[in-house]
Amino acid sequence: MYHIHGGIKIKTYNHVFLEVRKRLREAGIEAFDLEARLIAVAVSGKTKEQFMRDRHLYVPDDSFENAAEDLLQRRISGEPIAYILGEWEFFGLPVNVNHHVLIPRVDTEVLVDAVRDVFRDNLDGIRVLDMCAGTGCVGLAIAANLPFCRVLLADKSQEALKISRSNTMKNNLTRRVTSIELDALEAPPMLLGLFDIIVCNPPYIPTDDLKELDPSVREFEPAMALDGGPDGLRFYRSIVSEWKSVLKDKGLMAFECGVGQADSVQSILEQNGFTDIKTYKDSLNIDRVIIGTYHS
């Protein structure tokens, strides 16, 4: 995997990759193989395909190995790989991420699947409000999969809005997706218009549970995007009661919820006049998404 020249070991790209892989495995990183590949590709400046093609070539100098070492140390210290790379994938879309926004999770793709299934045959166009949008991944994935819809990404964080706008441009969706600063815990502003559906993956971790989260989440992801109040339901109550006023007749609200929260979210919807409530499960058979219909 390497040869000696003038007393110096000359390494291939693959040798450095295998060293990173070995040390991630020894550090207890579960997805050590995938993450080693992601690190190696990121620091090589190559695409995945180019890296695989060139992996047995010798690296020209120490820069590749040094850069890989820097990222490796960050990962071993507990920083999530998505923040290290600055990009993650959600529903097939590349999404920019940083410490101001949550990392998109595969569980949240259930929310997109549910909305896509409801509006799959709609050719008239729908208007979507993505509350607590963060990266914008949910609204952007809906826009990418429902070509007749228009999406408004809303968040109270200016830093999150910067990321959502960069992701809108990154995925060539600027003609149908825009961003706006809105606070989910306040009433809607005037002249916002009406929506066919409000989607939301809100903060839903009970405040006292934040300290029990995995360190990779607790120490690196924004608390503002995690803290759902004393019982984790603060945002559901506010959005359902305050924001139903901007739904069209028979408009929908669709929420992701935490483990064990589905019944409570359903009750909140029912208490606010929502009917035809449906629940969608994630890959672990956990109730993950709740959708209700509002009759104004």
9: pLDDT confidence band, cut at 50, 70 and 90?
Answer: low
Residue 273 CA to chain centroid, in angstroms? 30
β-pairing, 93-96 with 127-131?
Answer: unpaired
Angle between helical axes of 158-170 and 137-145 (0-180°, round to 10): 30
Q: Half-sphere exposure of 174 toward its Cβ, with a 13 Å CA cutoff?
A: 6
The CATH number assigned to the domain holding 13 equals 1.10.8
Percent of the chain residues past pLDDT 90, beyond the cut: 92
Q: Quick one: what percent of the chain has pLDDT higher than 70?
A: 97
229 and 161 co-located in one domain: yes
> What number is the average pLDDT over the span 36-64?
94
Q: Which residue range(s) make up the domain with 40?
A: 2-77
CB atoms within 10 A of CB 158: 9
List, for residues 138-179, the tens digit of each pLDDT value: 999 999 999 999 999 999 999 999 999 999 999 999 999 999
**Mean pLDDT computed over 218-238:** 97
DSSP letter assigned to residue 189:
P
30 pLDDT more than 60: yes
Instruction: Show which of 34, 55, 77 is a domain's final residue.
Output: 77
In this predicted structure, what is the pLDDT of residue 289? 98
**What pLDDT band is residue 4 in, cutting at 50, 70 and 90?**
very low
Q: In this structure, is residue 18 part of a structural domain?
A: yes
Instruction: Using the predicted structure, report yes or no on whether residue 7 has a pLDDT greater than 50.
Output: no
CA 62 → CA 10, 57, 58, 260, distances in Å?
Answer: 9, 14, 11, 50
- CATH for 255: 3.40.50.150
Please say if the pLDDT value at position 271 is more than 70.
Answer: yes
Total domains, the chain: 2
Instruction: Say whether pLDDT at 232 is over 50.
Output: yes
- Name the residue with tokens 């503002």: 224
Q: 218 lies in a domain?
A: yes
> Are 126 and 172 members of one domain?
yes
Pick from 240, 260, 267: nearest CA to 251 = 240
Long-range contacts formed by 87-94: CB under 8 A, 24+ apart: 90/135, 90/137, 90/141, 91/137, 91/141, 91/144, 91/145, 92/141, 92/144, 93/137, 93/140, 93/141, 93/144, 93/167, 93/171, 94/170, 94/171
pLDDT band at 121 (very low <50, low <70, confident <90, very high): confident
Q: Is residue 132 part of a domain?
A: yes
Among the residue ranges 84-93, 114-123, 179-188, 269-278, the one predicted with the least confidence is 114-123
Residue 29 shares a structural domain with residue 153: no
Q: Is the pLDDT of residue 290 over 50?
A: yes
What torsion, rounded to 10 degrees, do the Cα atoms 201, 288, 95, 79 define? Answer: 90
Q: Are residues 69 and 94 in the same domain?
A: no
What pLDDT was estimated at residue 198? 98
C-alpha–C-alpha distance, residues 37 and 22, integer Å:
12
* Range 101-113 average pLDDT: 97
Average pLDDT, the chain: 95
Tally Cβ neighbours within 10 Å of residue 36: 25
Same domain for 110 and 47, yes or no, is no
Does residue 82 belong to any structural domain of this protein? no
Q: Is 116 helix (H, G, I), strand (E, B) or coil?
A: helix
| Mean predicted confidence (pLDDT) in 254-262 | 97
Q: Is a pLDDT exceeding 50 seen at residue 220?
A: yes
Say how far residue 137 (Cα) sits from the centre of its chain.
Answer: 6
> Residues 72, 95: one domain?
no
HSE at residue 278, side-chain half, CA atoms within 13 A, is 13
Give me the pLDDT at residue 2, please: 44
* Nearest partner of 229 among 211, 248, 203, judged by Cα: 203
